[in-house]
Amino acid sequence: MSAWPKGYGLRLLETVDSTLNEAARMAPGLTGPVWILAREQTAARGRRGRAWVMPRGNLAATLVMRMTEPPEVAALRSFVTALALFDACAAVSGRSEAFALKWPNDVLLNGGKLAGILLESAGTARAPGHLAIGIGVNLADAPPAELVEPGAVRPVSLLSETGTAITPDDFLPYLAAAYAVRDAQFTTYGFAPIRSAWLDRAARLGETITARTGAQSTTGRFETVDAQGNLVLVTPTGRTAIAAADVYF
């Protein structure tokens, strides 16, 4: 098991409505970053307010920290977290070649969705805010395919795809240690090396994909992720940078 990283706290919960909600409740008293792990969530959520199916045995965790940087910089921690998840999954399974990263915030395993990341922030110009990074990983089980929207990547679990059996309590130290390493790299050297490492692991780079935001869809060749974390597509009308969207293959 990986050693717990220095400087990071840990809060273990048997049941909670959402680890993201718990992060917001803890935020006023934070003195340093804290990982929150729940064995059961009763009101888990994903991007755009979607429900997140979280069978017991899967990882439901949130890293909460004080906001010490502009929101546009803090948002890049989704890439830091994705790389840490990739590193942790490769470490516990021994199969790095099976994993890939899907913009903006998913980890894929054998082409299926293994994990998702959701960032939430709060605060005002007068009061220091906090950043919460919610993470869900299908360690033991995956939700039925009929529960995901049409065209979405099929859900998979680490156990079913690799035969790796690991509990959330045992997986979290790997993730926390990997995050600490990637975060130190980000803090010291900026986004450039994180961006490069992320692109090395990107799913469908160079291929045609579709990015949807509400009723608007943009289809083009996935060229890169730019220095601001935007998805860059080459379309018939030119290069387009997209700040937020759902990506479909």
Domains with residue ranges and CATH for the chain? 9-200 (3.30.930.10), 208-248 (2.30.30)
Going across the sheet that includes 34-38, the strands are: 9-13, 34-38, 59-66, 130-137, 112-122, 106-109, 99-102
How much is the pLDDT for 232? Answer: 98
How much is the pLDDT for 124? Answer: 53
Closest C-alpha among 117, 111, 172, 110 to residue 139: 172
Kindly list the averaged pLDDT for each block of 10 residues, start to end, along the chain of length 249. 90 95 94 96 69 81 94 95 98 97 97 96 69 97 79 92 97 98 98 98 98 92 98 97 95
The SS3 of residue 164 is coil
How much is the pLDDT for 50? Answer: 59
Give me the phi and psi of 183, to 5 degrees please: -65, -40
* pTM of the complete model: 0.93
DSSP codes, 16-62: BS-HHHHHHHHGGG-SS-EEEEES-BSS-B-GGG-B----BTBEEEE
